[in-house]
Structure formats: C-alpha cells, structure tokens
C-alpha cells in the first residue's frame, strides 16, 4: 500500500510486513520486562512495574472468579458495559452523521439553516458539557452515551457534509440529466458515495470515543473498563491497570480492523483498483 | 431540416460582467456542431446555458419550439472531460442508472423482469460503445478512454434530444482520442444524434463537426475588459461534409427504404460558406 514500494514488493512481503510491524511492540515488551525484572529483583514488593506472573494472578480473579460482593465476573461485566456504551455512542453518532451530514451536504437550504449550529456545537469541548449531561440525564448510562455522541458526532457530521459538498458538481449535473430527482440523487448518489467516508470518519472517531467513554466512567460509574482502572488506581494496582489498558488497546484495534475490513468488502470501488 | 435548438438574442451577464452577447443560433436536427474559441470566450457558459445549469439574462432558448427550462433534464445528455461516471457503480450500474431513475421514482432501483429488460438495453448500448466485455468493472479499474466510452453510453441510453460534449477527449492520449473520434462519429450516424461539442482542439472541431462555431469577443474595450461579451464570430458550415453524410445516409436509406426526400434534397456541390453576419 505504501507509495514508496512497488506493488510486487508489497505483495511479496505482505506476510513479513505484519512481522515487521510487530517488531517495535516486541521491543517495547522486552524493554518493560527488563525494567520490571530489575526493579523486582531490588524490591520484591514492587507495585509500579509488576511482572507478568503478578498480572496473571491479579487478572485471574477478575476474569475467572465471581466477585463476592456483586456476584459478577468483573472483567467480563466491565468489558460488556463499556462496549455497550461505546457501541450505542458510536451507533447514534454514525446515524446522526449520516442523516444530518447528507442533508447538510446535499440541500443548500438546510446547510444555510443548520450549518452554523453544527459548527458552534462542534467547537465546544465535550468534557465541558459533561456536568450538564450529568445534570440533565442523571448519572446513569444515558449521560455516558450522550458524552460520546456529543464528543464525536459533530466532527463526523461536519466531515461528511464537507465531503458530500465537495463531490464533483459534474456528477450531480450528470445524474440530473439522467433524470434523477433530488431524492434519487440522495439515495443513489450521495448516500453510497458517503458510506466509505462515513466509515473512515468513524474509524478516526474511535480514539476520541474511547477517551470520552473512559472519562465518563472514571467520573461517575459503578462498572466499566474505565471505572475499574480508576478504582484500582487508589491501590497502585498496576497489575490490573496494565492488563486492562492492553485489553482496551486490543478491543480498539479490533474494532478499527473490523471497520476497515467491512469498508473494503462493502465498498471495493472506494479502495483503489486493488479489489 | 428543422431547428432542434434555437437561441434568440441570448445574453449572459453577471452584474456588470458580460460573458455572452447577441447569440443567435439555430442548431439543426442531426447536426454535429463544434464550438471553439480562446479561453474565457464563454464556451463553457454557452454549454451551461444549453445544459440548463444557468439561465440567460436576456433572450430566449427553445428546444423543439418549447422554451428551455433552466434545470438539467433528460432531454439533454452530457459528457464532461472528467467525473462523468459514478465511481460507486459498475459499468452496467452506471448505464442502467438513467433507466432506473425514470422507472423507479421512490426506490431508485429496478428488480426482477424490469431490471432484466433494463440490463439488456444497457448491455446493447455498451456493446455499441465497445464496452461489452467490461460490464462488471468499476470506473477506477478502467482507462480514461473506457470511462469516456461509458459516459457516452450512459448519456445515450436516455435518448437525449441533444448531446452536449464538454471537451470530452481533452484528457486522453492521441491514439485513444482517434479511436474515440471514430466512435462518436459512428454513434452520431447510427443514432442520428444532434451534438454540441465544446473543444480546444481546432483540428478535432473540423474533423468531427458538420458546423464549426467560433466564440470570441467582437469588441474589446481595453479599459473595461468585461464591458463586452463574446459572441459567435465565425459560423462555418462544412457543406462538403454534410453532403457526404447525406450521401452516406442515402446509401443506408436505400437499403432500408425509408425517408429519402429530406436527405437527398441537400445541394450536391461541396463548399465552405463563411457566415460573416456576426463577424465584426
């Protein structure tokens, strides 16, 4: 894919490219192990850089044993709760972006009326709105999902609207000379053209979405990956925090990969000539 | 021959800026009109007028005697230099798009037998432009020449009254361009098209057209460059070519035995007449 390399090179080395990408991660892990082993040798009660064995031990309880207080498998309940919030937030944002972005991009009247509102909302730092969300929606799930939506939807809307607005004018004229009405123009031209871009905007929003999720969970929650991390921070429990962070990274990468792959499958035309 | 498209004293003005002035044109049914002229002489403005993308500030445009609405409708087909095809549709999808828009106002798609019929028509059209083997390719997988072939097929399937070409071959390699010239001439004859083509290439204008229009400013005020607009300064009717076409058509008609009078009534002698009415 890289423009520096020829296609043959890329094809021949595709397998090796993954290995190549893993090298720096491996190097970081080894570096951590060296530092951790060193510190643990000096102080067996070391908490900041736990050895993998300590992490496994701490995580074992969370993953495979029911919590005595709540009767839940904490690790899985945390994951489920966080993914549910994230999924809802991403879903609502995507749908909003699609509908509002399409209308803003296609209909000049709509853009003139609501364009400024969307921009104004987009420039407000979402975290500054969190207290309002908590006051309005209470401390429950709604406020957390709302924070994600408020955080990423305006960016996605604006990105999509700008993209649709920039679609070649010739294509719109061409569609009209082929008899397309405004509705058909939206349904058959703007919508399909927008989809790959929407997925791309969603992928770019994944990072911020996680930030808002963890923030909301850290401030007011009783379950969730972010909540757990901030809870055990009080005990300097790096043996839980580090595996949790790793788990979040894996989840985020997996979602990103799924989105990229589905875009390639569903919209091959948007991904160059290498179908 | 009857005038398919007429422009009567048409002006295009944006505030003080006059782009086109005193345009009087009658474009005959079946004519292949090339429009040449320097940059900024209003070639694109003229095309936009006929396309319905812009309205004249003065004057009247009629298509088959009816006033032309300033909106893009299927009576006018268009092929642009670039971006003429939809990147998200296959060759077949691009071609049946026009049929689907007409037949399925809500869903925008055809299903079952109707779709089958549309696909058949589209396939026929695509074979005529030489894309019969590329039905399921996406535009990104095709060369520029193939994309323009598709754009032509896409426009022609709607049977437009007039086909507008906006420098359609400008971005192509010379070899491919020659192929495209042959193709558009063939299609023009086979489908009895009326074509208005804007081009930079004077040779192309003469080799393809039966009539060549030159747009330029007939008056220039150096202190106020926008004071005067461009108009038709040369209007060359390539009679020799028209006669040859009529002959060709006559031969075809002899075979099919229909509508001979109109075509054979043209003067047989070949000459080029220069219309100097609008010149200076």
pLDDT tens profile B94-149: 999 999 988 888 888 888 888 999 999 999 999 988 888 888 999 988 988 899 99
pLDDT tens profile A114-126: 989 988 888 899 8
**pLDDT grade, residue A230 (50/70/90)?**
very high
Task: Give the residue numbers in B contacting A (CB under 8 Å), as ranges.
Answer: 51, 53, 71-74, 76-78, 80, 82-89, 97-98, 100-102, 105-106, 108-109, 138-141, 151, 154-155, 158, 160
Give the C-alpha separation, B168 to B78, whole Å.
9
Query: Measured between CB atoms, which of B77, B105, B160 is closest to A181?
Result: B105
Give the C-alpha separation, A213 to A115, whole Å.
27
Q: Which residues of chain B are modeled with pLDDT < 50? A: 1, 255-280
Give the C-alpha separation, B260 to B262, whole Å.
6
pTM, two decimals, is 0.81
- Residues of chain B positioned with their CB less than 8 A from the CB of A178: 74, 97-98, 101, 154-155, 158
In terms of DSSP H, where are the helices of B60-173?
Answer: 91-103, 112-128, 144-156
Q: Does A275 touch chain B (CB under 8 A)?
A: yes
Long-range contacts of A43-52 (CB under 8 A, 24+ apart): A47/A236, A47/A237, A47/A238, A47/A239, A48/A236, A48/A238, A49/A238, A50/A238, A50/A239, A50/A242
Residue B231 burial by CB count (10 A; 0-12/13-18/19+): exposed, middle or buried?
A: buried
What's the confidence (pLDDT) of residue A35?
94
Question: What angle in degrees, to the nearest 10, is found between the helix axes of A238-266 and A74-106?
Answer: 40
Give, as one character, the DSSP assignment of residue B132. Answer: T
What residue of A is the nearest CA neighbor of B102? A179
Give, as one character, the DSSP assignment of residue B69. Answer: P
What's the confidence (pLDDT) of residue B238?
82
Rg (CA), chain B: 20
B209: closest CA of chain A, how far (Å): 23
SS3 of B60, please? strand
**pLDDT grade, residue A253 (50/70/90)?**
very high
pLDDT tens profile A28-87: 999 999 999 999 999 888 888 999 999 999 999 889 988 888 888 999 999 999 999 999
Query: In sequence order, which residues have a C-beta less than 8 Å from that of residue B266 and are 6 or more positions away?
Result: B242, B243, B246
What's the confidence (pLDDT) of residue A7?
54
CA A136 and chain centroid, separation: 25
Q: For residues A147 and A124, is the Cβ–Cβ distance under 8 A?
A: no
Give the C-alpha separation, A167 to A193, whole Å.
9
- List phi, psi (to 5°) of B22: 45, 50
**pLDDT grade, residue A15 (50/70/90)?**
low
């Amino acid at each position: 894919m890289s423009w520096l390399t020829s296609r043959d090179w890329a094809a021949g080395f595709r397998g090796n490219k993954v290995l190549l990408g893993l090298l720096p991660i491996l190097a970081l892990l080894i570096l951590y192990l060296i530092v951790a082993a060193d510190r643990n040798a000096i102080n067996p009660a070391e908490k900041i850089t736990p050895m993998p064995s300590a992490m496994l031990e701490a995580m074992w309880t969370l993953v495979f044993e029911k919590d005595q207080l709540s009767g839940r498998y904490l690790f899985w309940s945390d994951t489920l709760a966080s993914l549910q919030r994230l999924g809802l937030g991403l879903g609502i944002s995507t749908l909003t972006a699609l509908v509002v972005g399409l209308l803003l991009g296609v209909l000049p009247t709509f853009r003139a009326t609501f364009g400024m509102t969307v921009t104004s909302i987009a420039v407000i730092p979402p975290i500054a709105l969190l207290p309002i969300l908590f006051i309005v929606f209470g401390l429950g799930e709604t406020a957390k999902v709302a924070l994600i939506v408020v955080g990423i939807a305006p960016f996605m809307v604006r990105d999509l609207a700008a993209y649709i607005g920039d679609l070649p004018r010739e294509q719109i004229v061409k569609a009209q000379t082929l008899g397309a009405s405004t509705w058909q123009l939206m349904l058959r031209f703007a919508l399909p053209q927008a989809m790959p871009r929407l997925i791309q905007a969603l992928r770019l929003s994944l990072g911020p979405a996680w930030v808002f999720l963890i923030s909301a969970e850290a401030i007011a929650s009783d379950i969730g990956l972010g909540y757990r991390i901030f809870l055990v921070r009080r005990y300097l429990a790096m043996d839980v925090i580090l595996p949790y962070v790793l788990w979040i990274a894996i989840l985020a990468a997996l979602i990103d990969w799924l989105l990229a792959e589905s875009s390639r499958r569903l919209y091959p035309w948007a991904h160059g000539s290498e179908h | 021959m009857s005038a398919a498209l007429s422009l009567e004293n048409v002006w295009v003005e944006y505030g003080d800026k006059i782009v086109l002035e005193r345009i009087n044109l009658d474009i005959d049914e079946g004519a292949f009109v090339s429009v040449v002229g320097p940059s900024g002489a209003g070639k694109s403005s003229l095309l936009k007028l006929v396309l319905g993308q812009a309205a004249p500030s003065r004057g009247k445009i009629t298509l088959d005697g009816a006033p032309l609405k300033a909106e893009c409708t299927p009576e006018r087909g268009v092929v642009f230099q670039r971006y003429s095809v939809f990147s998200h549709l296959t060759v077949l999808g691009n071609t049946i798009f026009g049929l689907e828009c007409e037949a399925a106002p809500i869903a925008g798609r055809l299903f079952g037998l109707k779709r089958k019929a549309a696909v058949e028509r589209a396939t026929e059209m695509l074979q005529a432009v030489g894309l019969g083997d590329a039905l399921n390719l996406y535009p990104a997988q095709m060369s520029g020449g193939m994309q323009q072939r598709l754009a032509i097929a896409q426009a022609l399937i709607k049977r437009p009254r007039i086909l507008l070409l906006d420098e359609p071959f400008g971005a192509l390699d010379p070899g491919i361009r020659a192929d495209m010239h042959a193709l558009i001439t063939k299609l023009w004859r086979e489908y009895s098209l009326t074509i208005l083509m804007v081009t930079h290439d004077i040779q192309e204008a003469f080799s393809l057209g039966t009539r060549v229009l030159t747009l330029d400013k007939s008056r220039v005020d150096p202190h106020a460059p926008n004071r005067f607009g461009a108009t038709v300064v040369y209007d060359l009717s390539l009679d020799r070519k028209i006669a040859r076409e009529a002959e060709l058509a006559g031969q075809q008609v002899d075979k099919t035995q229909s509508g001979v009078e109109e075509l054979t009534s043209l003067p047989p002698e070949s000459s080029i007449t220069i219309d100097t009415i609008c010149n200076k």
